[in-house]
Structure 1
Amino acid sequence: MSASPIVNVPGCGTLQGVQAEDQPVVAKFLNVPYATVPERWRPAVKVVPWNGIRDASVQGPVCPQPESPNVLVSMTATNVDEDDEEAYSKVYSEEHCLNLNIFAPLNQLEKRSRPLIPVMVWIHGGSFKDGSNAMELYDGTNMVAHSIKGLGRPVIVVTINYRLNYFGFLSSSELVQDIQSDKRLSSNNHEKSVGNWGLLDQKIALEWVRDNIEAFGGDPKDVTAFGESAGAASIGYHISIPAHHGLFQRAIMQSGTATTMTAGYAQLEGQRRFNQLCQHFELNKPEISAAQKIEMLRKIPAKDLVKAGGKNVGMFIPTIDNVLIKGDVREWSHDPSRYDPGLKSAMVGDCRDEGTMFVPELGASSLKKWPRFKARYCPPGEEKEFEAIYGEPKTNAEAASISAVVLSDVVFLYPIHATSLALAHSREMNQSKEPLQIARYHFDRPLKIVDDMNLGLGAHHAVELPFVFGPGMYLDMLSEEEKALSRRVMETWILFAWGEVTRQHDLKHGLASLLPADAGVKSKEALVFTEECTVEKTLVERLDTRTLSFWRRSEAWVKRRLEERSRDRSQQARL
């Protein structure tokens, strides 16, 4: 086959990709459109078939997004002159950002008689605020090459874009009213969902893979969705929203589940963001109606909209809209009956120092900020229990370090445990004869290059990503030991897609694997990617019984508090 492989995708059109320069066994098809955005704050529509041969050799545009203050994210950011309209539109496009990249074994395209192979669909993280499939960090070339040459277990990797920040996850009472009044939309297929457009984009992308990946030699009935942070949270939503069931058969959730980024209320969290936009663009005048605010905001250029919140815009979250998400995720994430009965296996894990990166934004970087931080998570009357578990800081440094541990537990470890437990019971609820296979992992290896910066982040949130993909630029930054570990990590992820991880590592995937740290059992059920760059097995849950119990009570308290505030706000709006 030539260096420009061609694939005809029935119902879509013909694509001409490119053979990877450094890995000639891999074919790349970039900027494959799966949908378009007809109008801001409206559901995407599936792409119209194209005529002729579409060039799929160049990266497509991504969703407009704010500049990140995070040094690690900024290292991967694309710089473009905002005043150069033509250059900007090639990198960022609100209308045409819904594209995906496909990395496939070249010989799968050459010999159509070959058996179909597993497919891995990557959903990137970024706090639902930033990130894209254009980041070199998510180049699937080396991962696919390793699946072919290193393992003899070839896979296809697909990386998708979806709408972010103000375009994909904004909500407010005005937006609810706006979409409910649109008679063009149907109430039967979630078209009137508000603040969840990014999740709906992902659904269309996964449907595109299901319907079309066979043209590339992929098995549409053997799809693994894998994602990190907001991407992992997205997968948590997909497997627990009935209308999204059946999109994939396996799931890898890296540092997150649905309750890591719990959906908020349009009249609370969403309204604050909407009001901030209106204030920034001077639309908070009494003579401007709700409908006029929406109309004016729709006309604001995308690049100006993302700049409105500045660098510290913070994370976005989905919305409880009573259409797609019909209740508080904190409650139904514990319900085993909600999870996709067709899910065959799940691998869920965390990084050792998840919380350190979030202390400046969410933690207590000083003693002065500690009381407010503690009050956010500690229910009234539970202060002594909180102090017994985490201690009480006496210095600014202690406030920062303790809040990092608290954030690790409440945002990542506890949600991962709760979701894993519900998944373990899900087959019982669905009366399935075969148990859902569950694998758990911990990632303890800091990146040497980041450690050398003396940032004090440790094995921080997202530290595993260069190891999962092993992309060229990042691979050059790894030590020889880290390169070897990257091959082991890729092997684990690829074998999971082949349904072989639990067998290869002798994991029993039963409820015993979810026992807390103080259970006193000797069975070893989790994979640990150690600081020494080895792969070991250990007990799964790093939280003890007391800590898990505390966060269950805290979660219920937060849920009640937000429900009461939401009801009060709704009553005030009706007066």
Structure 2
Amino acid sequence: MPLAPHVTIPGCGVVRGVRVQGQPSVAQFLNIPYATVPERWRPAVKATPWTGVRDASRQGPVCQQPKSPNAIVSMASPDFDEDNEEEYAKVYSEKHCLNLNIYAPYDHLQDKSGNKPSSSKPLIPVMVWIHGGGFKDGSNAMDMYDSSNFVAHSIHNVGRPVIVVVINYRLNYFGFLASAELVQDVQSDKRLPSSSSEKAVGNWGLLDQKIALEWVQDHIEAFGGDPKDVTAFGESAGAASIGYHMAIPSHHGLFQRAILQSGATTTMPAGRPLFEGQRRFDQLCQHFGLLRPDLTPAQRLEHLRKMSAKELVTAGDHGKTGMFTPTIDGVLIKSDVREWIHDATRYDPGLKAVMLGDCRDEGKMFVPELGCKSLKHWPRFKARYCPPGEEKEFEAIYGEPKTNEEAADISAVVISDSVFLYPIHATSASLLQQVKHKEQGQEPAISRDVVRFHFDRPLKVVEDMGMGLGAHHAVELPFLFGSDIYLDLMTEEEKALSKQMMTLWILFAWGETSRQHSLKNGLDSLLPADVGVQRKEALVFTENCTVEKTLVERLDARTLAFWRRSEAWIKAKREKQSSPGAKL
């Protein structure tokens, strides 16, 4: 049995991990604390050093989250007894959920005395994964995010070793709750510096992510990682998070490359404390019977603060609450992010490369919650997305359903376009606008690669269930990580596609996106052949399990123009709602 790897992390302590069974070239370190939560609805603080050797062989606790009928996101085993407090604390902890898992090439670790890797082992790129889940659920404990095979592939098949870090952050009521009561509570807290992000409200989850990325900057060198060569990658809410970090000035410099999968900033647009936030807060109070006239707002908040995390999160069990979002708190996020996405000057100028993409049938799995399942509800669905006076244009683009099935199908496409494809396109366009190419012999002010991809392959085992989801939201994740639990369910063609996807992500993290590099898989490069804002070429993971670099237009000019007008209409409605005297 190989010796357990030990790493001395300067400023933290010594951790003892494991060499992954079946992949001894990969060392795994679980449950490394990067911060703790001293108080509910307050900023986290960086973790304190520990003495002795910390056992990093077992998964750490995650943020409490509502019960879900989806077994994929469930954090507990089927026989988990939540009434057993000792067992419950091993799975969930509000105070100690801010931990991270590290998967690193064993040969790149420092030696046992804490010295850096030898000169023959230079520091290698680092990839930090931010999970999705609608800011409501998910964690680094999910089997899907086991990065052992991903790192092993980078070593043995690509020859470009990487380190993968998978983080937790606060979710749902703990990370993204906002209201007038919480704003007043935070603003009146004299312990918090008035001129810092510590006065932020409803964005504690984003601040947790920032601390995790700072931890990587400060400590990943102990594992052989290069703190100046970090790629942040994430899916859905994780991709939206990265979009926020790219646009918040105080978060610039945390990573050099980014991969946004099925999401951008306006996929999860920040809400307002006195409107979207307040409604959720009042629903929470109503669930616990706290909307009584004998309780002041401050007393309601105090009741919620005194509840156990286990009790508090039950308010969202079994779909009682939808997805959460960040908050326009006037501190971290100061305005409607629909303004941000088109402002090229907001994005981190230090970003070297950004890759953005989507799945072909993003909207299908959201039809039950966000879509339209019958003709009866079609007018209401249409009114939610279509500005007044644009009905004919909407019908010309998407058609008018004549059956319940058509209503569901069209609503799925509308959700795909408005929530995923349009925000991704708008972000791509702004990132390209920020790149000023050589004109009249002048050097570009910013040099950056922008890559687009589309994932069109359904997972056969899901298709065989007859659910009709196609290449649904998050379908690419089993392919990307290639964890054993999912490889066992894949066809041989799907396993081959998984290796191709891992290869491309690894090469991206290594900066091999330009034409000077000859990529594997028959591609000349990750970059399209043409340049400019109107670039339409993209990588396509096809339904036939091939990877092609091809011209593709998922949203034509007419559709893009419609969603630009719809976006402006929604923004104007929000401004009117926020005006003095407007009712909630």
Which residue number in structure 2 is paired with residue 267 of structure 1?
274
CA distance in 2, matches of 1:572, 1:373: 23
Q: Which amino acid aligns with 1:403?
A: S
Matched, 1:112 2:118: yes
The partner residue of 2:254 within 241, 247, 252 is 247
Secondary structure in structure 2 of the residue aligned to 1:567 = coil
The answer to whether the 8 Å contact 2:479/2:501 transfers is yes
CA distance in 2, matches of 1:449, 1:77: 23
Which residue number in structure 2 is paired with residue 515 of structure 1?
534
CA distance in 1, matches of 2:552, 2:263: 16
The partner residue of 2:456 within 444, 469, 478 is 444
Relative to structure 1, is the Cα distance of residues 395 and 572 closer, same or farther in structure 2, using a 3 angstrom cutoff?
closer
Relative to structure 1, is the Cα distance of residues 511 and 275 closer, same or farther in structure 2, using a 3 angstrom cutoff?
farther
The answer to whether the 8 Å contact 2:60/2:91 transfers is yes
The partner residue of 2:342 within 331, 334, 337 is 334
Matched, 1:188 2:179: no
Which residue number in structure 2 is paired with residue 417 of structure 1?
425
Secondary structure in structure 1 of the residue aligned to 2:436 = helix
Matched, 1:4 2:4: yes
Which residue number in structure 1 is paired with residue 403 of structure 2?
395
Displacement of 1:572: 5.6
Structural mapping, 1:10-89, within 5 Å = 10-70=10-70, 72-74=72-74, 78-79=77-78, 80-89=80-89
The partner residue of 1:408 within 402, 405, 416 is 416
Q: Which amino acid aligns with 2:387?
A: P
Secondary structure in structure 2 of the residue aligned to 1:320 = coil
TM-score (norm 1): 0.95
TM-score (norm 2): 0.94
Which residue number in structure 1 is paired with residue 579 of structure 2?
567
CA distance in 1, matches of 2:217, 2:541: 32
Matched, 1:453 2:459: no
Matched, 1:144 2:151: yes
CA distance in 2, matches of 1:130, 1:388: 37
Relative to structure 1, is the Cα distance of residues 194 and 546 closer, same or farther in structure 2, using a 3 angstrom cutoff?
same
The number of residue pairs the alignment matches comes to 564
Structural mapping, 1:104-183, within 5 Å = 104-109=104-109, 110=111, 111-113=117-119, 114-183=121-190
The answer to whether the 8 Å contact 1:514/1:541 transfers is no
Displacement of 1:286: 1.8
Relative to structure 1, is the Cα distance of residues 151 and 507 closer, same or farther in structure 2, using a 3 angstrom cutoff?
closer
CA distance in 1, matches of 2:77, 2:92: 10
The partner residue of 2:488 within 476, 495, 511 is 476
Secondary structure in structure 2 of the residue aligned to 1:309 = helix
Quick one: percent identity of the two aligned structures? 70
Relative to structure 1, is the Cα distance of residues 510 and 433 closer, same or farther in structure 2, using a 3 angstrom cutoff?
farther
The partner residue of 2:447 within 423, 427, 435 is 435
Which residue number in structure 1 is paired with residue 558 of structure 2?
546
Displacement of 1:537: 1.2
CA distance in 2, matches of 1:428, 1:11: 41
Displacement of 1:67: 1.7
Instruction: Write the deviation string for residues 113-156 of structure 1: whole angstroms up to 9, x where unpaired.
Output: 31000000000000000000000100010000000000110000
CA distance in 1, matches of 2:350, 2:124: 19
Instruction: Write the deviation string for residues 519-566 of structure 1: whole angstroms up to 9, x where unpaired.
Output: xxxxx7211000000000122541000000000000000011012112
Q: Which amino acid aligns with 2:83?
A: D
Displacement of 1:48: 0.6
Q: Which amino acid aligns with 1:222?
A: D
In the alignment, structure 2 segments of 5+ residues that lack a partner are 112-116, 438-442
The answer to whether the 8 Å contact 1:514/1:540 transfers is no
Matched, 1:293 2:300: yes
The partner residue of 2:264 within 244, 249, 257 is 257
CA distance in 1, matches of 2:410, 2:583: 38
Relative to structure 1, is the Cα distance of residues 93 and 432 closer, same or farther in structure 2, using a 3 angstrom cutoff?
farther
CA distance in 1, matches of 2:511, 2:527: 14
CA distance in 2, matches of 1:512, 1:558: 32
Relative to structure 1, is the Cα distance of residues 58 and 492 closer, same or farther in structure 2, using a 3 angstrom cutoff?
same
CA distance in 1, matches of 2:426, 2:96: 37
The answer to whether the 8 Å contact 1:169/1:197 transfers is yes
CA distance in 2, matches of 1:512, 1:389: 28
Query: Please, which moves more after superposition, 134-143 or 560-569?
Result: 560-569
The answer to whether the 8 Å contact 2:76/2:91 transfers is no
Matched, 1:93 2:93: yes
Relative to structure 1, is the Cα distance of residues 143 and 189 closer, same or farther in structure 2, using a 3 angstrom cutoff?
same
Relative to structure 1, is the Cα distance of residues 12 and 398 closer, same or farther in structure 2, using a 3 angstrom cutoff?
same
Matched, 1:368 2:384: no
CA distance in 2, matches of 1:469, 1:499: 19
Matched, 1:490 2:502: yes
Which residue number in structure 1 is paired with residue 233 of structure 2?
226
Q: Which amino acid aligns with 1:68?
A: S
CA distance in 2, matches of 1:217, 1:470: 23
Secondary structure in structure 1 of the residue aligned to 2:174 = helix
Structural mapping, 1:354-365, within 5 Å = 354-365=362-373
CA distance in 2, matches of 1:68, 1:3: 39
CA distance in 2, matches of 1:560, 1:77: 43
Relative to structure 1, is the Cα distance of residues 439 and 18 closer, same or farther in structure 2, using a 3 angstrom cutoff?
same
Relative to structure 1, is the Cα distance of residues 514 and 479 closer, same or farther in structure 2, using a 3 angstrom cutoff?
farther
CA distance in 1, matches of 2:493, 2:4: 35
